[in-house]
Structure 1
């Protein structure tokens, strides 16, 4: 059983199918946020000791699970590097996000803003808005979206503009992805795998993580909107 968070979900769904074709091993998949208070958040699921062998989530959340003894020591492996993108409803005017000042102006002009309750949204709500000097103006009209893709909220017209990992916005219908946040505002989040400490299939879990971090996975990871972590570390 593998639990994966949204940032790596599309990549993993495709890679799991590839792994099954190559090895015959069938993988059960569960989806949930890296953090947050929802019932299906991965830390909550491990807290209930739901059956699981591998988890894939934002590295910071994985390290917290490891510190709590819920991840096999030394099994943490970075798989993909994720960047934050901006989306509006399909057909809406495209805002300027070309630099810090443009993002600041866009946020001030928006009537409503949405971000996730996971790694990217926590960064936006607790750091980026303060850095731009717009926290007092934007937080009151902003929404942290739990357990639902931000793109879906934007597509419904419930927010003028949405922020989430590019890999989580790709594939959502009814939105236009404006682009990535500029480099001086960007936060790169590693999505990483670890073997669950109470896994009943630790050998099979190790083999799956080795596959996910190997060059065989790179094309699928790139297609999903991520950068392969191993390739970045070893150019």
Structure 2
């Protein structure tokens, strides 16, 4: 090979663009606004691609355990992350409690009167003949937290027949946003993301378990971009994106 040809090949290789890497994230539906913002910024900075699947944490955990090709998992509750970890799918030392949240009662529109949620609170009277939108109370963290709060307040048995359960918390939010249900139980961050609902009350912090969002790098992660985006979840840009949506930063 001539020296000129060798130099030409060297320059061509140096000028070739580095192939973009893809990061597949499974994340709780309540994270959509903040995580979409963060992913867009990170993609612009790195040239890599982030593909995010949003759903209820229980459904996502089950899909991961069944072999779904995810690189990172962010759950809205530790119990579903525990299931993924028990299956041996979390990289050792690559799990952390990332965020916190608050549980609120929302109403359709902007004219709903505020209520005091505590002793003597009668949610069934407030609902009347209407429905209470909630995420699935047996498998979705927002629904599990909500059921725990209503049980602690002595309201669950009274309102259970009126509960309209949805696949995830954003679907429950949509029921209230469109007026299909007059009230719903969601996270404070969900309420902040929809102008068609109003927070009419906040559930006492001692009425439900602390809301914790653990994040983990999974054993299916195969390239440097996966680890880089996992680390970016606790970086400065992420803190700004999460706090802007009302999350509490735990790390």
User: Which TM-score band (shorter chain)?
Assistant: 0.7 to 0.9
Q: What's the counterpart of residue 35 of structure 2?
A: 12
Regions of 4+ moved over 3 Å: none
Q: What's the counterpart of residue 141 of structure 1?
A: 162
Provide the rounded CA distance (Å) in 1 between the counterparts of 2:196 and 2:51. Answer: 29
Calculate the aligned-residue CA RMSD, in Å.
Answer: 2.0
8 Å contact kept, 2:221–2:227: no
Provide the rounded CA distance (Å) in 2 between the counterparts of 1:32 and 1:74. Answer: 25
Matched, 1:33 2:56: yes
SS state of the match for residue 100, structure 1? coil
Matched, 1:93 2:94: no
Q: What's the counterpart of residue 81 of structure 2?
A: 62
Q: State the TM-score, normalizing by the size of structure 1.
A: 0.84
Q: What's the counterpart of residue 109 of structure 1?
A: 126
Q: What's the counterpart of residue 233 of structure 1?
A: none
Provide the rounded CA distance (Å) in 2 between the counterparts of 1:186 and 1:47. Answer: 27
8 Å contact kept, 2:103–2:203: yes
Matched, 1:72 2:61: no
Deviation at 1:95, TM superposition (A): 3.7
Provide the rounded CA distance (Å) in 2 between the counterparts of 1:135 and 1:180. Answer: 16
Q: Which of 167, 172, 177 is 2:194 aligned to?
A: 172
Matched, 1:49 2:37: no
Q: State the TM-score, normalizing by the size of structure 2.
A: 0.79
Provide the rounded CA distance (Å) in 1 between the counterparts of 2:97 and 2:39. Answer: 17
Provide the rounded CA distance (Å) in 1 between the counterparts of 2:167 and 2:103. Answer: 17
Select the structure of larger CA radius of gyration.
Answer: 2
Provide the rounded CA distance (Å) in 1 between the counterparts of 2:222 and 2:110. Answer: 49
Gaps of 5+ in 1: 36-40, 231-235
